[in-house]
Amino acid sequence: MQLADNDPGQTGRVNAHGNERLQTIHGGALDAAIGEILIEAMTPLSIEVALGVQQELATRQEEADRLRRQHVERAKYEAELAQRRFLKVDPDNRLVADVLEADWNAKLRAIAAAQEAYDKSAAADVSVVNDTERAELMALASDFPRLWRDPRTKMKDKKRMLRLLIDDVTLTKGDTVHVDIRFVGGATRSLDLPLPKSCVVLRTTDAAVVQEIDRLIDTYTDKEIADLLNERGVRTVVTTPWTAARIGRLRHIYQLTDRRTRLLAQGLLTPEDVATRYGVVISTVHLWRRRGLLRAHPVNDRGDFLYEIPQQDLPAKFAHKLVYQVDPVTSSSHSGRGAV
């Protein structure tokens, strides 16, 4: 079986190429587990690994510098040949002289370009690995756990360290993911990891949160529920704040009874029912609510209310002119806010 790391550092997906089909394993947990094993095993080998990496970097830099110098020397040699050819030409043969002069100028430009590229590369080499940074690198390399967990350590650098330590990793996917690690020198290590959760499971709202939202619907509107969850520090499955729209979608997905239906089941009346009962227009019902004659419960965030049946009958005529001390009941007046 051959392993291929697709999209490293992002999705952490590892493809296992078998003879029959392609198996996909999300590698986030696998990377973390192997990293912890390396941290355990690297204490006596950290200096040796650091020296090996430094030697490899130095060797590659010297080889690259040698090739760049050869390119500059070749350009200079070709320019000298072009110059000699131009100086040997008969001045009376202007056509040939012009061609040789143009060739000489082209070679001189090639020298300038090669020298400029060499200078830039040399400056970049010095800026990447100077004495101070080399000392810092050696200090980090002596503390392998800190180096491995440092967010500034790039994935490609981690892979190079892995190649110095591990020969191969074999994965067997069953009820769990069985991992066999073979280190350089023949030592082996095995471990079993639980199968990673599917995207559907990862993006499913926790059952406790759904139950709490179901309970809060008895008391609050969608926006008030969203604000309450945000105050408690509860986050959605995508770690974004709650909104009224998200609460509404969650009610639809989990088929939670909406607030209006629950209040109607408790015997509350619609504005039309109240108007019919007392023989007034709906605007009078709204006025009674604002005056405190009726206890009103909001059913949504659009200003719609359902009403309790008053303990005593309201006068049908001029009732809106009376002043009552009954406070309207809204969801914002409830103070019972339990934890999720």
Shared domain for 300 and 244, answered yes or no, is no
The reply to whether 339 falls in a domain is no
b vs e for 68-81, b when ≥16 Cβ sit within 10 Å of the residue's Cβ?
Answer: beebbeebbebbee
Domain holding 44, by residue range, is 2-194
Amino acid letter for position 300: N
Shared domain for 211 and 125, answered yes or no, is no
Shared domain for 230 and 145, answered yes or no, is no
Shared domain for 121 and 217, answered yes or no, is no
For residue 313, which of 281, 263, 279 has the smallest C-alpha distance?
Answer: 279
Shared domain for 98 and 190, answered yes or no, is yes
pLDDT tens digit at each of 340 positions of the chain: 444 454 444 444 454 444 445 566 667 777 888 888 877 766 555 555 655 666 677 777 788 888 888 888 998 888 888 888 888 888 778 888 888 888 888 988 988 888 888 888 877 665 444 566 656 655 655 677 777 778 888 888 888 888 877 888 888 888 888 888 888 767 788 888 887 766 656 667 788 888 999 999 999 999 999 999 999 888 787 778 889 999 999 899 889 999 999 999 999 999 999 888 888 889 988 888 888 888 899 999 988 999 988 766 665 554 444 443 444 444 444 444 443 3
Under a CB-based contact definition with an 8 Å cutoff, are residues 12 and 32 in contact? no
Amino acid letter for position 75: A
Shared domain for 31 and 169, answered yes or no, is yes
Shared domain for 50 and 177, answered yes or no, is yes
Q: 87, exposed or middle or buried, with CB in 10 Å at 0-12, 13-18, 19+?
A: exposed
Angle at 90 between CA 86 and CA 91, to 5 degrees: 85
What is the count of structural domains for the chain?
3
Shared domain for 49 and 119, answered yes or no, is yes
Read off the pTM: 0.43
